[in-house]
Each structure stands twice: as C-alpha cells, then as structure tokens.
Amino acid sequence: MDKKDLQKAFGKNLKKYRLKGKRSQEQIALAGNTSTTHIGELERGERCPSLDTIFKLSKILNVTPAKLLDFDTNFYTDEESYMIVMNVLDRIPDNNRLKLARIFERFAELYEEDLKK
C-alpha cells in the first residue's frame, strides 16, 4: 500500500464518518478552521493529513483518531479494482454477464445507503 492508497483510504473514512454524522464539508471546515477545498482534497485522497489534522477531525466528528485510520490494508486502487472486476466478467458466460452487472449495481446502491447512515 503506497502513500496515495493510504490517502485515499483515509479520505473514504473521513467522508464515511462525516456523512454518518450528517455534516457537510462546509460544517467540518468551519469547525476545523480550514477550507472546504482542503476537506474535499482530503476526502478524495489528494492530500495527506498531518497528525494534528487527524486529531482535529476526529474531535469534530466525535470519533477516535484510530477510527479515521482503521482501513483495509488490502486497499485496491481504482485500476486494480477495475482489473479484478474485468477478470471475473471474463470468466462469466455472455448470457449471465447482465445478471452479474445488476448484482454489482445493487451492491453499490446498498454501499451508498450504508455510507449515509
């Protein structure tokens, strides 16, 4: 797992806990005396948070710093994830690919609903 993967994993957790707390990026930025651009960059994995930032965000989100840093070390990049899905699809007969695509689609919907909780 390289630095970029770690940043993306942190960003996913940050967004998950922000949405769980029903807070906007603007609210988090205001509470943390920073900009919405900075929060967005952190959530997208474009910036690496400092230790101070991690602790500040954990306090704002009312979670432990460990929760923000608790992510799967087998995190895949978008390209790796795409290749895994394509390899699976290659093994599925043509007439069943649409069924599998619908399963992926439903899984994504459930995942998005879970993030909003």
| CA 101-102-106 angle, 5° bins | 120
- Residue-number span of the structural domain to which 63 is assigned: 3-68
Question: pTM of the full predicted structure?
Answer: 0.63
DSSP state of 47: S
Rounded to 5°, the CA angle 66-49-18 comes to 60
Q: What's the CATH number where 26 sits?
A: 1.10.260.40
Q: Is residue 58 part of a domain?
A: yes
Cα–Cα distance between 116 and 91 in angstroms, integer?
34
- Does residue 9 lie in a domain region? yes
Element (H, E) at 109: helix 94-116
Could you read off the pLDDT of 85-111 as tens digits, one per residue? 777 778 888 888 888 888 888 888 888
pLDDT per residue as tens digits for the range 10-48: 999 999 999 999 999 999 999 999 999 999 999 999 999
